[in-house]
Amino acid sequence: MLISSAGYNAWRDTKKPTTILSDLCQTSKMSLPVYTENFHSVKVADQHFTCDPACIEFVTTTKTSTLMLHRKVHHESPEEYIQQNTALGALHAWGRKINQVI
């Protein structure tokens, strides 16, 4: 699932997925999430979560002018977009992976 900045699928929570994931780790008394350098994956409690390939494809194949307009309007870089989607993927998989470990 991709995070959309506008439209029916827009992110409406007051906190971004990266903040929610960090808060959840702190509440669960786990170490904070550790992202890879390119933000394509994140490690939480010895579990690895990856970004949706569709998100990475969107960022790498979208026309530069469209992507620049998206970034300018929504104040996020392509890296920020990927990081937020990676955190969202980790949150979606939280119940399946993390709760089995605890």
pLDDT at 67: 56
**What is the domain extent for residue 94?**
19-101
Q: Does some domain include residue 3?
A: no
Non-local CB neighbours of 67 within 8 Å, separated by 6+ positions: 59, 78
Domain count, the chain: 1
- The answer as to whether 11 is a domain residue is no
63 or 32: which leads in pLDDT: 32
Q: Is 59 exposed, middle or buried (0-12, 13-18, 19+ CB in 10 A)?
A: middle
pLDDT for 95 beyond 60: yes
Span of 5-9, 27-31, 35-39 with lowest mean pLDDT: 5-9
Structure confidence at residue 100 (pLDDT): 63
In this prediction, residue 10 carries a pLDDT of 67
Distance CA 40, CA 56 (A): 8
Please indicate, yes or no, if residue 86 is contained in any of the structural domains: yes
